[in-house]
Structure 1
Amino acid sequence: MSTGALASLLGQQPFTFPGLTTIGKIVFILDMVLFLTFSSLIAVRFALKRRAIVASLHHPSESFFFGAWWVSLALLLNCTASYGVPGLGGASGGGAWLVSALRVLFWMYFACATLVAILQYYIIFQTEHLHVSDAMPAWVLPAYPFLVSGPLAAQIVKSQHDPTAALQIIVAGISGQGLGWVLALLMYSVFFTRLIRSDIPGPSVRPGMFVSAHLQIPQGFLGITSLDVGDVWLAAALPAGLFLWMVAIWFAGVTTLHVLRDARRMRFSLQWWAFVFPNAGLAMATIQIGTVLDSDGAKAVAAALTVLLVGLWLLCAAMHVRAVWRHDLLQPGRDQGVDDVNAVHDRAKEESEEEKQSV
């Protein structure tokens, strides 16, 4: 998610320089390599322990990260629209086939995101008993595929030459984004209750707290002809965007203070990647606000934040490799939830073998 978000952010910079697009494409290609590699390794894991996949989807912490796979996929589609279509000559040139493919893939993604949000929360509500004192922003991850549906729709629509198809994608993106916002608000309310009533997360996992189109609207849309509906949507979107932008800044500020307070006691964990992914979203939101308000100050802040995020990505990558090299990750007892899931698999396997022997 962090690498894909960084690639997407580099493709939206308000201030560019020669070679920036090439750098963005390199990060995009790296993201594809990482996505395919990690997906293959996860597939091998569950192929070796076939019963573990059910246990994983029911685990009180590991199960939430299933949504991260879909968010990573959405970011790949976003970058494909950003880098791939222009690189092939645009929608009217050699990239026409990719434009059509992205339209189909968007609807497939939207359908899958719907199933993930419904079924995963159903499993969690039906079989798990989670405690407010353990609440983490990761609890929103099953809904996160919808939280990126709006930006994904906006990026894909830019190259769509069919007005009807573009409008349908915009409406779906807004609808999915709305569901994601509501679910995020509900889950963050639980997390906020935890911060007030219980201890804050440990130093090493505190970075996870960071997770905290009008031109496509045709004349006469919804049967309204007395005014330009697209302009109304834009006027309504701006204050809503500013509201959410300030909420994000508040969460980022509070989290930063908590991280800095105990930075010396932190050791690397996978939650460190939350230094990058959610803050890349904040940077992209700042770019959009700067563009709409024609504010060079906001654009400059976004550019500075981008430079900081590149540095944080390099730091997380170096610390991640170091942790694997030192056996702090990918080792028995060192990965959250993995041993629990494996234990469930082993017990189920033993019970199955005992039943066969008794027969």
Structure 2
Amino acid sequence: MASEESNSSYEQQDNTNNGDDQAQSNGEHDQRKASGIRNRAAAIVENFSFLWFTLSMNTGILSMLMHQLPYQFHGLDILSTIMFVFNLFLFTLFFAILLLRIILYPKAIASALTSDLTELSLTGAVPIAWFTLLAQVGITVSTASWGGGPFFVVACVMFWIGTTVMVCIATLVIVILSKTEITTTDSLSPGIVIPFVGTTTNAVVQLLTVIYQGALIVNYSHGVTPGLAIPVIIVGYMLTGIGLFAALLLYAAFFIRLTNAGLPPPPQRPALVMLVGPCGQASAALQLLGTAAKSYFGKYGDATLYTSTTGETFSAVGTLLGLMLTGMAVLFTTFTAYLILESAFRRQCRYSLLWWSTIFPLATVCTAFISFSEEFNSPAFRVLAAGLLVILVIDYFINWAFTIRDIALGKLLNGRRSEKPASDREKKH
């Protein structure tokens, strides 16, 4: 009897010890799991790429195009507003992560900007995404029943903040290109145009983006006065000059790179669509700035320049130059489309975040088509704008499908720079 009680006591003690060991093991497992999650989150923040802001850019530009499309149907304005809200969410999320990276890992971001041309170029994506939000505040919120004229003032404040940041980024890029060996002519990336073409927004064109946004909010926002509009128009023309002429210099440098070193490797070829951006954005910017000049020059002051006749001249010249620039944008579109399709047929393509850069540059051409449809009252340009928008929306959702797939598979947001594109040029045989 005593022996049975002793055995029972030993069994209870063993069970207690086993339970303690299991609890301790589970606790250690939970700690390791929590530590792993923290380490992965820290690595994601440390290696966060500016490429992610192209998702916000593209969401914003499609929202704008839906709002401005000549062929409107019931519900399109609702879709535009949904895209605007989603863009606001994306920008807030990405900007918060970027701020954490700047605060927690300043050396890592400084190293990336001085050693990785793609990262340096895509710093312009941040203000471009900001400009798409600005545009929707001006053309949607300021005209809504719950919004109103005061929000145009908000849009103007956002414009000047974005303009300052965009010019600072463009200057920073020039300084880094001049003082470091981050790139050579033979390894130049088409993404380098982004900080200089910041006038609208497109994974490709950055300084011009600033200009176009200025024209857009002046033309389509509610409660605009000449006193608010004229400074935006004047600065808009200056910024368009920065974007366009800097892009022309970079076009020349990039074509020297093509003749000396050949094409980029197939995985990087989607980025070539960025070459479309400067011309498409400049075309849209000049047209919209001309329209704004025609509307407001005659209403502002007694200066010799500010007359209705001068405004009409600016508008006509803007349309003429816009046609020429759109022709160049179409040439770049066919060039890059051929190269991408060739790589696809040869099964040389693989998905990366660079595919997001195929939307914004073409969206600038769509914006130009919409402006032409209004200037010429042209059904042909309306059809072109609508058809191109449909293609861009399809491209947008395909990109989201692949992005979500790669996140689920651990290829993106895995704590490593897996979203960083290959940097070597195509090998010659």
TM-score, normalised relative to structure 2: 0.74
Give the distance between the partners of 1:280 and 1:30, measured in 2 at CA: 18
Say if 2:225 is the partner of 1:162.
yes
Please point out which of 195, 203, 206 is paired with 2:266.
203
The 1:37/1:162 distance shift into structure 2, 3 A limit, reads: same
Residue of structure 2 in register with 1:230 after alignment = 311
- Post-superposition offset of 1:335: 3.4
CA distance in 2, matches of 1:19, 1:237: 33
Taking structure 1 as reference, are residues 128 and 24 closer, same or farther at Cα in structure 2, changes over 3 Å only?
same
Q: Is the 8 A contact 1:110 1:149 kept in 2?
A: yes
1:335 aligns with 2:415: no
Code of the residue aligned with 2:138 in structure 1: it is: A
Deviations 1:162-189 (A, max 9, x none): 2122111111111111111111111122
- Matches of residues 188-337 of structure 1 in structure 2 within 5 Å? 188-212=251-275, 213=292, 214-218=294-298, 222-223=303-304, 228-263=309-344, 264-331=347-414, 332=416, 334-336=418-420
Q: Which stretch of the first structure deviates more once superposed, 212-221 or 308-317?
A: 212-221
Q: Structure 1 residues 147 and 243, CA, compared in 2 at 3 Å: closer, same or farther?
A: same
Q: Which has the higher contact order (CA 8 A, sep 6+)?
A: 1
Amino acid at match of 1:102: A
Letter of the structure 1 residue corresponding to residue 352 of structure 2: S
Give, in whole Å, the separation in 1 of the partners of 2:261 and 2:377: 43
Matched, 1:149 2:210: yes
Letter in 1 for 2:139: S
TM-superposition CA deviations, 1:115-135 (whole Å, max 9, x none): 221123112211234112211
In structure 2, the residue matched to 1:70 is: 127
Q: What is the alpha-carbon root mean square deviation over aligned residues?
A: 2.0
Q: Distance in 2 between matches of 1:252 and 1:119?
A: 29
Q: Which residue of 1 aligns with 2:14?
A: none
Q: Compute the displacement of 1:236 (Å).
A: 0.7
Q: Report the residue type matching 1:170 in the other structure.
A: I
CA contact (8 A) 2:197 2:242 kept: no
Extract unaligned runs of 5+ from structure 2. Answer: 1-56, 199-206, 276-291, 423-429
Partner of 2:249: 186
Normalization by structure 1: what TM-score? 0.87
Match of 2:46 in 1: none
Check if 1:109 corresponds to 2:167.
Answer: no
CA distance in 1 between counterparts of 2:121 and 2:151 reads: 32
Structure 1: gaps (5+ residues): 339-359
> In structure 2, how many angstroms separate the alpha carbons of the residues matched to 1:42 and 1:333?
15
**SS of the residue aligned with 1:191?**
helix
Aligned residues: 334
Greater mean alpha carbon deviation, residues 211-220 or residues 73-82: 211-220
Identity of aligned residues (%): 28
Change in CA separation of 1:222 and 1:335 when aligned onto 2, cut-off 3 Å: same
Equivalent in the alignment of 2:95: 39
Matched to 1:180, the amino acid is G
* TM superposition shift of 1:42: 2.3
Match of 2:186 among 110, 128, 133: 133
| AA partner of residue 325 (structure 1) | A
Q: Classify 1:312/1:130 alpha carbon distance in 2 versus 1 (closer, same or farther; 3 Å).
A: same
Match of 2:79 in 1: 23
Asked if the contact 2:363–2:392 (Cα under 8 Å) also holds between the matched residues in 1, the reply is yes
Range moving further from structure 2, 23-32 or 121-130: 121-130
1:82: which partner in 2? 139
Counterpart contact for 1:3–1:27, Cα < 8 Å: yes
**Cα separation, 2, equivalents of 1:226 and 1:155:** 21
Q: Which residue of 1 aligns with 2:149?
A: 96
Q: Is the 8 A contact 1:71 1:144 kept in 2?
A: no
